[in-house]
Every structure is written in C-alpha cells, then in structure tokens.
Amino acid sequence: MRPGSTEALVEIVADAAASGRKLEIAGGGTKADIGAPREAERLDMSGFSGVIDYDPAELVLTVGAGTPLAEIEALVASKNQMLAFEPHGAPGSTIGGVVAAGVSGSRRVSRGAVRDHLLGFKAVSGRGEAFVGGAKVVKNVTGYDLPKLACGSWGRLFALTEVTLKVLPAPETTVTLAVEGLDPTAAVALMSKALGSQAEVAAAAYSNGVTALRLEGFGPSVAARRRLIEAMATVRALSEGDAEALWSALRGPLEDAPVLWRLSVPASRAASVVDAGLGHSVMDWGGARIWLASDQAEAVRRAAVTAGGHAMLVRAPEAMRATVPALHPQPAPVAALEARIRRAFDPAGVFETGRFLDAD
C-alpha cells in the first residue's frame, strides 16, 4: 500500500485497526532487517516525498517524511547549510526513517542528536487520526514535546508524513587530527580531555588504533584550536580524502561482520567494554557509542549493563534475530510505561508487528 495523501493514509490505518491487520511502516526499506522476522502488510511512505518549505535565512526546512535523505542533504548543501546531527543511512534512506530510528552521526557530541533538531511533524496515529506535534519555529514550549517522542519510536506509535527540521550553516573549514598507537584506555582519556577543552572538538572517534578528533569552524579559529590539541598529543592532520573515508566508515562500520551491535555507554566505561575481548570494535562519540562485532549476545548485553549502558542488535542472521530482541530489554516498570504509551497512540496494535519481541 502506498498512500499519497493524509486522507488516504487515515483510511488505510483506520481500516487496519477495525479489521485487526498489522501494518509495517517503510520508507526506503533500508532498516527492514533490524529486528525479528515478521509478517505484516507493508505501508510504503514514499508517497509523502518532496520539499514543502525551505527558508535558508530562518534555518528551517519542512519536507515529506518519505523524502530521500540524499536529496535533503544535497538541497541544504547547495545553500551552504547542513543537517548538523549528521544523519546517515544506506542508499535510499528517507528522512522519516532517520527520525523514527533516531539516527545521529559522529557530530552528535557537539551538535546534539536528531531529537534536538526536530522542530515539528505531522503524522497519523494507530487510531487512524491525523495530528500535529511541535511547530515550525525554533522556540516552541507549548504542550507536550512530541517531537522528542517521535525520535527513536521506530514506527510503533504513528506514521510520520511530514517533518520540520532545524538546519545550520556548514563549517567553513574542517580538519581531522589523528593520534596513532593509543590503547582504548588512553584513547578514551584523550578524547575526553579534548572534548572537555576549549578546542571545541566537533567529533571524536577511535578506530583501528587511530584516535581521530575533528575541528570545524572559521579558518583562524580552527588553527588556534588545533594548537590546543597539539599541546595534548602528537598529532597529524589527515588529508581530506583520508578524513572523509574515516568518518564515512563510522556511518556504516564493520560492514563485513555478520553480527553487529551498537552499544551506548558512559564514555568513561567504554574502554572496559572494548577490552573485554568480545569482538572487533570501534568507538564514536568520544567512546559513548561502541560498534561491536560479536555473536555472544548474552555477554554483549551483560558488558553493556555492567558499564551502565545498553546494547542494540543492529545486524544478525535471521535465526538470531528471531530469538534475540533488537532493542535492549527494559526493566519491568519502564517496559510497562512504554507499552502504555504505545497503546495510547495505537490501541489496536496496528503498528505492533512483533519486530522487537516485546509486544504487550
């Protein structure tokens, strides 16, 4: 099913709710293999595509949720602007999918996550009701903060039809400084020191023995802040091509690994997770995000909890996805609260496909 209007979408969802059918919201389909195998009718949101309003002077962009991410990035780049939370995804990814999955890139440590840049949205709930959340203004404090609820909801609450995002000017100068030969503990210590300094580091990562620190801004400012980093460690500046390759690899890391996890932990505990020897890993967000290749599900989740964080199963063979929940299991009170929120938006469970093995 591919609705091309809100009215058509409302009718489809309302009919599914009345008949007990399940609908799986899909944009580009690039995240379909996250979660357990399931049977549900595909609700193709690509009909909600295109730019609705873009005001570069006001730094606000409104687009259909089915608009390909690549088209949006090309549009804002043509105005020397950017989506500062550095979204990413496989070819065909849509902005609605980015929001629903809560995807933020390496710049999250300095510019915030997608939830900090989503100003408003339009959607259709599992009740078959069209509604609006947030507003097309940067400063909006009235009512519930539904945009933050939308980010990371994975299409379990409502079908996004339109999103309004804050955009920012693209940096004039970018340089990536690399430090080689550090172990995970030393790398985390350097990244933490750099991120906490006046160097205003835009991104910090550790991959294959290389600690990378990215600086952005006006040329003279970048040069001055580079000297602060050089006072901390022996660094070398990567070429533009090498820097792009490094940061691009972090958007789709460990691509040859059949099983891939994404761990979110306090940066101060990241080295202990990496040193546990569960598999090959890379660190982003100064250590707060770890990509880990490992088929030891229980050990990975135990390591994440011990470090004070959680682990999401991003990629795995179908048999593993059928039994291991993609999202980290929540404590009973939190799980119950999440279930009540889902039922408030989707009482008939239209969008509850069994993907995350936690349906109430």
CA distance 270 to 263: 9
What is the C-alpha to C-alpha distance for residues 331 and 140, in angstroms, rounded to an integer? Answer: 32
Radius of gyration of the chain (CA): 21
In tens, the pLDDT along 178-196 reads: 999 999 999 999 999 999 9
- Model confidence pLDDT, tens digit, residues 47-68: 999 999 999 999 999 999 999 9
pLDDT confidence band for 137 (50 / 70 / 90): low
At 360 the pLDDT is: 56
Q: Please say if the pLDDT value at position 142 is more than 70.
A: no
pLDDT at residue 139 is higher than 60? no
- The answer to whether 191 touches 204, Cβ cutoff 8 Å, is yes
Is residue 141 within 8 A of residue 286, CB to CB? The reply is: no
Q: Residue 134: pLDDT above 90?
A: no
Residue 358 is predicted with a pLDDT of 85
Single-letter amino acid code for the residue at 273 = V
Chain segment 282-339, per-residue pLDDT in tens: 999 999 999 999 999 999 999 999 999 999 999 999 999 999 999 999 999 999 999 9
Q: Residue 281: exposed, middle, or buried by beta-carbon count in 10 A (0-12, 13-18, 19+)?
A: buried
Nearest Cα to 264, choosing from 297, 235, 304, 295? 304
pLDDT band at 143 (very low <50, low <70, confident <90, very high): low
pLDDT in tens, 203-257: 999 999 999 999 999 999 999 999 999 999 999 999 999 999 999 999 989 999 9
The domain segmentation of the chain, as residue ranges, is: 6-169, 173-251
Fold classification of 173-251 is Alpha-Beta Plaits (3.30.70)
Q: Output the average pLDDT for the chain.
A: 94
Closest CA relative to residue 129, chosen from 95, 99, 159, 162: 159
320: number of Cβ within 10 Å? 15
For residue 5, name the pLDDT band (cuts at 50, 70, 90).
very high
Burial per residue of 238-263, b for 16 or more beta-carbon CB atoms within 10 angstroms, e otherwise: beeeebeebbebbeebbeebebbbbb
Q: How far apart, in whole angstroms, are the C-alpha atoms of residue 55 and residue 200?
A: 28
pLDDT over 70 (residue 138): no
User: How confident is the model at residue 140, as a pLDDT?
Assistant: 47
Which fold is adopted by the domain 6-169? 3.30.465
